[in-house]
Structure 1
Amino acid sequence: MSVFPVVKGTRLRATKVNSCGLPVAGNANYVVTNGWVSLAISPVMQEAEELEQRNAEGRVCVADRTPPERKYYNLTLTLCQVNTCLITLFNGWEQELDWEGNAVGVRDQRRVESDYGVALEVWAGGKAGNDCPTPEDDSIFASASTGKSYGYFLTFGTEFTLGDIEIAASVANFTLTGITFAGPQWGRGPWNVVPTDADNTPGRLLTPVTDDQHLVIQRTPIAPPEPTPGEECCPLNIGSVFTAPNFYFGGPDGEPAADVAPAQTACVPTP
């Protein structure tokens, strides 16, 4: 049984994906940041429908109801002091460059991006009552860590738009709102986020994301990644790092997918 509190957002990682959740390689296609205030995840439901038929006397002769279903979730991400590349990553807006080619802003567009989206991973703090079990033998030394675990949230968002901006004698935050979608082509993901053995070896999700799932929530002892340099967007490599025998989905002759994602190349932020 997993019981854990959700206290404080520790880290956020956004990875560019297509409309099926497949990670998209590119020069500025992922970012890890502390520069966010909150993430709200609100379900949008298909309400239950009452089915009823009355007979000629006006009495109910057939009664039933359809079950409610989750259609998707509304996402509201509030940002503070973030690089403009993150906004571009979410909604496809054009970067504004200075005379040296460095990103200094963004320019809006009329069309809302829906062909691509982002995989959003969020780590939350909060100590659970079972984070420090009493050891039964000395095997605990082989897997010793900080003793801290995290709440891990994974979802897939698209159709992000920038909310109201109020400039006044107060702090102004940027708010991005979008909707979730199923990301079955994320599979087990390109990142190491859960333990794969008793030694707490960081690895990929143990079970692939399916075509019916918009949200994954679990407890993990694997610490969140550090922010990318300058909290800038970094190059994402997929085909060049997931090579035999480290396959993303599996090899041509039935070889299994890699349990541990290969390391990405050193991050050199792309303007």
Structure 2
Amino acid sequence: MSCPLIANADTIRVTRVDGCGRPTCGPEGSFVFDCFASLGMKANVDDGTDVEYKAANGRVCGFKRGCPSFKGYDVELSFFSVSPEFIEITTGNPLVFGFDGKPIGYDDCSIQCNSGFAIELWAEVLGADACTSATAGDGAWIYFLMPWVASGQLGDLEIGSEKAALTLTGATRSGGGWGTGPYDVMPIDAAGAAGKMLTPIGSACHRRTFITTVKPPKPSCDYTPVLCA
């Protein structure tokens, strides 16, 4: 599958990470959903400073182009489902509970800059060979991983006669401790057995992208556990 085409976004999973960018294990560590419109990943790049030596007569004696510096991605997620669990993981703001102890809402209090969340996106692959590979089960997906997104915050919200959409913004960080991750997201042998990533994502990296034949997780309206070995 050398020329995959992205058909459409399918599923997103967010996972709570600690102050060092490591997955937080436990029963309330992640949330999976598919009720979203788009996920934007805008590269944040410093163009650098050009160096130019110009003589008094106007002739350019020497020139060196500035080296761009990659700062990460500015993330913008547009979604529809107002899930308290999702908002708590991504913004760090507290939940509001009902009489039965279940989350029914959330408070908007502050922006959490020290911890954050990981975000994974599965997008369906379009192509005649998506189901012909020996390791393919029910298709193939482009898998995107941003292992550490910080400063999650909700954008403006307007409620009226039109459909309402919420916007979550954040920025990726490098130096996280995601490693190979806690999930089975790729085939690890010729039979197509699902397992963790075969190589850890580098500590200086902000995003990983690859093709996988392992199905995305099923959406849920509740926390999903993160099991760490």
TM-score > 0.5, shorter chain as reference: yes
Match of 2:23 in 1: 23
Equivalent-residue separation in structure 1 for 2:43 and 2:226 (angstroms): 30
- CA change 1:179–1:62 in 2 (3 A) is same
Structure 1 ranges of 4+ moved more than 6 A: none
Q: CA deviation at 1:145?
A: 2.1
Taking the TM superposition and a 5 Å limit, the aligned residue runs for 1:24-43 are 24-43=24-43
Is the CA contact (8 Å cut-off) linking 1:195 and 1:222 kept in structure 2? Answer: yes
Q: Secondary structure at the match of 1:126?
A: strand
Q: Which has the larger radius of gyration?
A: 1
Match of 1:236 in 2: 226
Q: How many residues align?
A: 228
Match of 1:128 in 2: 127
Q: Report % sequence identity.
A: 30
Structure 2 portions without partners, runs of 5+: none
**Which letter maps to 1:154?**
L
Match of 1:268 in 2: none
Structure number with the higher strand fraction is: 2
TM-score, length-normalised on structure 2?
Answer: 0.91
Equivalent-residue separation in structure 2 for 1:27 and 1:194 (angstroms): 23
Taking the TM superposition and a 5 Å limit, the aligned residue runs for 1:1-271 are 2-109=2-109, 111-133=110-132, 140=134, 143=135, 145-146=137-138, 148-155=139-146, 156-228=148-220, 231-238=221-228, 242=229
Equivalent-residue separation in structure 2 for 1:191 and 1:43 (angstroms): 26
Equivalent-residue separation in structure 1 for 2:227 and 2:114 (angstroms): 20
Q: CA deviation at 1:56?
A: 4.8
Equivalent-residue separation in structure 2 for 1:32 and 1:188 (angstroms): 19
Deviations 1:133-158 (A, max 9, x none): 5x8xxxx4xx5622x10010101311
Which structure has more relative contact order (CA 8 Å, sep 6+)? It is 2
Equivalent-residue separation in structure 2 for 1:208 and 1:184 (angstroms): 11
Deviations 1:36-76 (A, max 9, x none): 22111111111142111234554322211122232111111
Q: CA deviation at 1:93?
A: 0.9
Structure 1 portions without partners, runs of 5+: 243-271
CA RMSD of aligned residues (A): 1.9
